Structure 1
Amino acid sequence: MNALRSRAIRLLARREHTRAELANKLAAHGTQEEINAVIAELQACHLQSDARFAENYVRAQAARLGTLRLRQNMLAKGLDRDLVESHLAVADMPDDLDRARSLWNRKFATAPANAKEWARQARFLQGRGFANDTIRRLLKAPLGEDDA
């Protein structure tokens, strides 16, 4: 049990982990009951927190990912849907259009000249998790001339 706890603390010392990630990484080193007990102990000591993970993840990734991708990634990491939605709702970040424009400026900085280029830029933004309407609005007026 002490070895399992030490391993969990070493993992948490490197970076934040969700409860599900930590349980998955510890699965080969103990029984499910031992793992649950260790994680519960770490949560009681505030060494592991899904809420803290969600807050840090949104802060770190918001500049380069859209809301759709942030939501998908956090759910894939085993966070509760209500926790994800609440952190995305209260996150202090610019709206999707502003984040998409900033990302687009760093990557392209010139308006698409033809349909092929428009599609390439749209695919890039879709891959980063921006909604189709946000992408259309951005590529219609990429430099912010028409912010209607």
Structure 2
Amino acid sequence: MAKLQISLKGRALRYLSAREHSRMELARKLARYAQESDDIEALLDTLEAAKLLSQARFSESLIHRRAHRYGNSRILSELQSHGIDADSLVTIKAELADGEIARAREVWRKKFNQPAADAAERAKQMRFLLQRGFSHRAIQAAVSGGGDDDDC
């Protein structure tokens, strides 16, 4: 039995039914299966016009998946790598800034749950949060406060 050939649009809809994709990511995935006569950009324009492909929904989805584990700079960097425009990034950055300290405290609490005993341990905790993309302000609040303060 011959395998059915899925059209490019069918493949795009299959990808989008699994999760939200950015325009750049979907174009990259579809390029593997495109023939010479296929116009990926036209297909993506059609999907956007039909509200099946949305950069705003993709951004929202990525933020929702990553916010409980990562800081603002890591999330913004990932959004930028997916081709999200600069205007949207500024808006997203402003929205994310509100809860970064609370998220940093929660990540710190899950990993360490106790204040550092010495400077080496404190540096280890700070490096951990820095690698997760949290700002220095959020790291200082999380490591020094230990999550006891609820002033954020």
TM range (shorter): 0.7 to 0.9
Distance 1:58 1:32, change over 3 A: farther
Distance 1:13 1:145, change over 3 A: closer
Q: Percent identity?
A: 36
Tell me how far 1:141 sits from its aligned partner: 2.5
Q: Say which of 99, 109, 112 aligns to 1:108.
A: 112
List 4+ stretches of structure 1 deviating above 6 A: none
Report what 1:74 is aligned to: 79
Matching residue's letter, 1:20: M
Distance 2:91 2:37 in 1: 29
Distance 1:20 1:32, change over 3 A: farther
Distance 1:58 1:74 in 2: 9
Count of residue pairs brought into register by the alignment: 146
Tell me, yes or no, if the aligned pair for 1:54 and 1:84 is still in contact at 8 Å.
no
Q: Say which of 76, 80, 89 aligns to 1:84.
A: 89
Matching residue's letter, 2:19: R
Query: TM-score, normalised to structure 1's length?
Result: 0.87
Report what 1:136 is aligned to: 140
Matching residue's letter, 1:115: A
Report what 1:16 is aligned to: 20
**Segment of structure 1 superposing worse, 2-11 or 32-41:** 32-41
Q: Structure 2 unaligned segments of length 5 or more: list them.
A: 1-5
Tell me how far 1:33 sits from its aligned partner: 6.5
Tell me how far 1:18 sits from its aligned partner: 0.2
Q: What is the RMSD of the two structures over their aligned residues, measured on CA atoms?
A: 2.4
Query: TM-score, normalised to structure 2's length?
Result: 0.85
Q: Structure 1 unaligned segments of length 5 or more: list them.
A: none
Tell me, yes or no, if the aligned pair for 1:55 and 1:87 is still in contact at 8 Å.
no
